[in-house]
């Protein structure tokens, strides 16, 4: 059986392991910042073994990441706030016209 490597790269990465508690739930994450994946970070739930690729713009998309990471509905806002601190410098500015 032949194997064709499409990519094989090594890099130094910034890894962060975080355990969060809300009123009723605990969440354990690994956040891996890498130059791969078009600047997206890998956010891995250590409890359900699922991950998402995320950038700052993805934080607002509540249909994208909470279910994949196993976030309970009542905790989405708190985890979202945490993600802004990890993936983005500031919360997005509100649109004004």
Give me the residue spans of the domains in the chain: 14-87
In this predicted structure, the answer to whether residue 93 has a pLDDT above a threshold of 50 is: no
Residues 2, 55: Cα–Cα separation, whole Å: 36
* Residue that wins the pLDDT comparison between 23 and 11: 23
Do 43 and 72 meet the contact criterion of CB atoms below 8 Å apart?
no
45 falls in which pLDDT band (50, 70, 90)?
A: very high
pLDDT tens for 14-44 read 899 999 999 999 999 999 988 888 889 999 9
In this predicted structure, the answer to whether residue 91 has a pLDDT above a threshold of 70 is: no
What pLDDT, on a 0 to 100 scale, did the predictor assign at position 92?
A: 40
């Amino acid at each position: 059986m032949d194997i064709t490597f499409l990519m094989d790269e090594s890099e130094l990465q910034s890894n962060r392991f975080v355990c969060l508690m809300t009123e009723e739930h605990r969440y354990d994450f690994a956040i891996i910042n890498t130059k791969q994946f078009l600047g997206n970070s890998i956010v891995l739930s250590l409890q359900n073994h699922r991950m998402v690729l995320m950038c700052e713009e993805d934080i607002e998309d509540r249909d994208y990441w909470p279910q994949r990471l196993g976030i309970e509905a009542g905790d989405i806002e708190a985890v979202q706030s945490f993600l802004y601190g990890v993936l983005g410098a500031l919360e997005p500015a509100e649109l004004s016209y």
